[in-house]
Structure 1
Amino acid sequence: MEGLTVADVCRHYGRSSRTADRSALVLANGSVAWSQIDRHSTHLALALLSIGLEPGDKVAVLMANDGIYLEAMYGIAKAGLVIVPLNARSVAREIAYFLSRSDAKAVIVHSSLTQTLAEALPELAPPPAFVFVVGEESQLGVSYAELISTATASAAELPSVDPDDPYWLSFTSGTTGPPKAALVTHRRLLDTWNTFVREFELTSRDKILLAAPIYAGIGFNFALAALYGGGQLVMQPAFDAAAAIAAIDEHQVTMLPMVPTMYESMMNHPAATDADLSSVRVVLSLGSPLLNNTKKGLLALFPHGGIYEFYGSTELGATALIHPVDQLRKDRSVGQAVMGVQIRLLDEDGNDVPVGEIGEIYKRGLTMGSAYYRNPQETASMHRGEWITSGDMGRFDDEGYLYVVDRKKDMIVSGGFNVYPAEVEDVIAAMAGVRGVAVIGAPDSHWGEIVCAVVVLDDGVTAEDVSGHVSRELSDYKRPKRYVTVESLPLSAAGKVLKTTLRQQLASDDS
């Protein structure tokens, strides 16, 4: 499907006599055919353009997994607009930040999240011009159902969209400072989906369980990739181990894209004992490496499933994959480059590092990365000629397998969610009585990593006080699960906190 856009995928399946009536999506209350998704997404596209939005404008979506989310994804694509998925677990301060940095002109929000959005809007100047509410009516905006019912124009009046036009604005993080917005084109996404279809041999016979949040990269990419490959999406509103196990059994799911924490929960759930999980053929893990014991447990849980681990990022796109045959012999490796991609490890001077030594991970080829929105300096810093990096550090073994050994950004991956220490540190440092703070990731058998805050406090201030402050300012997955109070933080000669020293000290204390 060379030269296609996200919208073309929906039109193809929704209007072909072979696939129009095929179920694309399975929800708790029934299934949704391709023809309905195509029709509703076209109505949305026409309605958004009729209110004055123009191709290239940004539309934020604030909701958990829902069939309407899929309509919005395709409708925004058909209108030539750019989708900005917002984390449904974010607090008002975070929502305000994302909206201001994305220049979103409209927001589609679920009624359960209107209060959070209402608290965020006064912080914006100007706020988005339009708010559309899915679910119960709200004074905050116009009903989504009412919006799409106003579409009167013909689908032929939709604009022409080029594969190199931007489609997805996803928030990530720079080496330091707050999250940045990465702008991804239709072409980059379809290159990525082609990679998934090839690597996992996706066909119309596949059923993919989407329990990961669709607003996150894993859910966003794999929801659309599964449908692009002709598969059927079995969507859950949120991850629940018992519900996931039941869905696999009932619908004979063949593919699971999940993070290690989800797999751990399923392995330890009593419902797994009696369920029929034999239909699963692809067990895909993302976010952080699986432990060998977890791999062995998954092989027992899914007797016909092959374990894959995927490495990539918003900046890099699909980069590396480790296949079932290598899982147990290449512990903690992320595998080798996916088809059409080359990987290099470079030192500070841009030279290739020897095998076994650590260098910064660069790639080129298909699924190439994005540009940072309104940030040409950071975009330029990602590149060395035609090679691009996200700042991760890695090493090759003598067979060419890649191991990600550290994150130049110090990003923490907890339960599959990215947590950026600088953001957590800023919130804690703003509290009276905090004299110093450093946030690091600490290994955890369930979460992969947990957020750990090392704090220097005035007399009379406790870690419980800090925890209460943080709970009002940050999403739950960003909040430290562990607090360590110290007299002082280790500093370099330049006055920077030595986080490596802190990690070593915590590891020593835990041993």
Structure 2
Amino acid sequence: MLICETVKQTALTHPDKIAVNCDGNQMTYKELNEMIISIQQQLATVLGPLNKKKVAFLIDNDSYFLALFLAIIQAGAIAIPIDPKWSSHDQELIVSDCAPDLLLSNHMITDVLCLSLVQLMKQKKISLPAHNISDDHLFYIGYTSGTTGRSKGYLRTHSSWINSFSASDLVFDINKEDIIFAPGALVHSHFLYAALHGLHIGATVYITKKFKAESVYQTVTTFPVTILYLVPTMFSAITEVYEKNEKPIEALEKVISAGAKWHPTLKKKSKFLIPNAEVFEFYGASELSLISVLDEKGNTENPESVGKAIPGVEVSIRRPDFTKADIGELGKLFVKSKFLFSGYHNLPKATEEVFHSGWATVGDIAFIDEHGYITLAGREKNMIISGGLNIYPEEVENVLSSLQEIDEVIVIGLEDSYWGEKLAAVIKWREGSRLSDQQLRQYCKQKLATYKCPQQFIELESFPYTTSQKIARKEVMNLIEKQNEHQGT
């Protein structure tokens, strides 16, 4: 089965059911299916047979984005969405890397075949040539958000997401009666996955051209949205709107969150904002899909963990020699499932680093307890070596983020002539709150080994983020290093 091949059937059986609602503009399943066919015919006029052709596009977040994506992949071509928020330089690098057969954009990026959307829509329509697509065909090249460096293109087959859809149905109890809201940018796999999964099962999907906490709050308090996909920073922003209105979101049944763990303060506030909803924090990666989920039971039993492996996923913690680690022993986390990606585009060495004897890893360091709960210590590539000792910054960040005075924190290693790298915590305070360096040091010493306690605390008014709303670790490091150079430290 192909992704959203089911849209055709839903268009026949429930033609007037709303497929997509974008900021109040609705599209039925019949209209969506007709648009998909129309776009395929226009693409065929330009490219001829579409099977295995690569189509990149740089367009706004709206219903047409989904229709175009589906038109491409159902014709056997490969969709490559490009983030409008990336710099023009990064966009050019990505287009150069993926070398598309066609680029759809209102702005010429590189010397490839490029059409604007208006030009595409003016193309004559020819019947789509016969094509044969199997579920192991590539359908998608997505690019990582680049929290620590240059983006990499990850390759996805139809079967990898079809199997993930089945797991999501089971774990989150999602069905065609649900109204699913994915208010983030569709160039990011979390929200694209949410939207395509909803359309695949025949549900109604809400999206928005741009995330605005006020409008998202208004939507979920006005319409019977049952499932909301987001990242923690989004929920934090929605909470601030709620505190001004004090009207809870009562129809919401489930919140599915990814990207980072929730701050304890946010979890407490969620009980008032979404009193009838269960929060699922799932841990995964663009390359590995779903790995584990922390549900309400897990949040009670082991809130510091990322939950237990979902059905269909095997998780193994391995030592450097690839032998299996003991219960509670730190090691590199490996995954085996039907949800895995097929490698990185044009990066064979990076792909080899991921796959080992049928297992895959993105370098996360973790341990599993006797009850099966997985706790992350950090990512191997983020490891800081201070005084010859290995420190995973995420472990220190988790401790500091438990302080209610801290809004956001990131821990970095700064070059130091004595220590090699000096541990520094970069902190954004909650409005009206602050702790002294001495208080922070005392708190860290209560929770961490001495060598893991930051030697320097730095305040920032705001953090730079990736387009997927994660703190851009490399940019923070560059910013602090420049500040230190300016101050002569």
1:210 equivalenced with 2:205 (yes/no):
no
Matching of residues 141-220 of structure 1 within 5 Å: 142-147=118-123, 150-153=124-127, 157-172=129-144, 178-220=150-192
Q: Which amino acid aligns with 1:101?
A: D
Matched, 1:10 2:3: no
Q: Do the aligned partners of residues 245 and 174 (structure 1) sit closer, same or farther apart at CA in structure 2, a change above 3 Å counting?
A: closer
Deviation of 1:300 (Å): 1.7
Instruction: Tell me the TM-score normalized by structure 2.
Output: 0.78
Query: Which AA in structure 2 matches 1:59?
Result: V
Which residue number in structure 2 is paired with residue 83 of structure 1?
Answer: 79
Contact 2:147–2:471 (CA under 8 A) maintained in structure 1: no
Distance in 1 (alpha carbons) for counterparts of 2:212 and 2:423: 29
SS at match of 2:112: coil
Q: Which AA in structure 2 matches 1:282?
A: K
Name the structure 1 match of 2:303.
331
C-alpha displacement of 1:314: 1.6
SS of alignment partner, residue 167 of structure 1: strand
Task: Please state how far the C-alpha of 1:89 moved relative to its aligned partner.
Answer: 0.6
2:15 — aligned with what?
A: 20
> 2: CA distance between counterparts of 1:441 and 1:47?
53
Structure 2 distance, partners of 1:82, 1:31, is: 27
* Native 8 Å contact 1:396 1:402 kept in 2: yes
Question: Partner of 2:282 in structure 1?
Answer: 310
Distance 1:130 1:185 in 2: 25
- Secondary structure of residue in 2 paired with 1:269: helix
Closer, same or farther: CA 12–233 of 1 in aligned 2, 3 Å: same
What is the identity, as a one-letter code, of the residue corresponding to 2:26?
S
The 2-side partners of 1:440 and 1:162 are apart by 50
1:425-456 Cα deviation digits (max 9, x unpaired): 9xxxxxxxxxxx9999846578xxxxxxxxxx
Return 77-86 or 370-379, whichever deviates more: 370-379
- Structure 2: which amino acid aligns with 1:42? I
Q: 5 Å matches for 1:344-383?
A: 344-383=316-355
Of residues 34, 39, 43, the one that matches 1:44 is 39
Q: Percent identity?
A: 20
Deviates more, 1:168-177 or 1:366-375: 168-177
Where 1:99 maps in the other structure, the secondary structure is: helix
Gaps of 5+ in 2: 384-392, 398-410, 415-420, 431-461
Separation (CA, whole Å) in 1 of partners of 2:231 and 2:372:
25
TM-score by length of 1: 0.75
What residue in structure 2 maps to residue 132 of structure 1?
116
1:328: Cα distance to partner?
A: 3.5
Cα RMSD (Å) of the superposition?
Answer: 3.3
- What is the count of residue pairs matched by the alignment? 417
Against the structure 1 CA distance between its residues 289 and 191, is the aligned structure 2 distance closer, same or farther, given a 3 Å change threshold? same
Give the C-alpha shift of residue 143 in structure 1: 2.7
Q: Structure 2: which amino acid aligns with 1:132? A: S
Q: Tell me if structure 1 keeps the 8 A contact 2:180–2:206.
A: yes
The alpha-carbon distance between structure 1 residues 200 and 445, as it changes in their structure 2 partners (threshold 3 A), is farther
Letter in 2 for 1:9: T
Partner Cα distance (1:307, 1:439) in 2: 33
Mark the CA change 1:352 to 1:168 in structure 2 (over 3 Å): closer, same or farther. Answer: same
Write the distance in 1 (CA, Å) between the matches of 2:120 and 2:283: 36
Match of 2:29 among 14, 34, 38: 34
Q: Spell out, residue by residue over 1:408-432, the C-alpha distance to the aligned partner (whole angstroms, 9 max, x if none).
A: 2339999xxxxxx99xx9xxxxxxx
Structure 2 counterpart of 1:486 = 484
Gapped runs of 5+ residues in structure 1?
134-141, 415-420, 426-436, 447-466, 489-504, 506-511
Q: 2:223 aligns with which of 228, 251, 254?
A: 251
Give the 3-state SS of the residue equivalent to 1:104 in structure 2: coil
Q: 1:272 to 1:32 in 2, by over 3 A?
A: farther
Q: 2 CA distance for matches of 1:295 and 1:357?
A: 28
1:299 alignment partner, SS class:
helix
Distance 2:141 2:422 in 1: 29
Kindly state the Cα deviation for residue 65 of structure 1 after the two structures are TM-superposed.
Answer: 1.7
Change (3 A) 1:128 1:13: farther
1:145 Cα deviation from its structure 2 partner: 2.6
SS in 1 for 2:301: coil
Q: Does 1:96 align with 2:70?
A: no
Distance 1:59 1:438, change over 3 A: farther
Q: 2: CA distance between counterparts of 1:444 and 1:77?
A: 42
Q: Deviations over 1:106-126 (max 9, x none)?
A: 2223xxxx4xx44xx2xx4xx
Contact 1:64/1:214 (<8 A) preserved: no
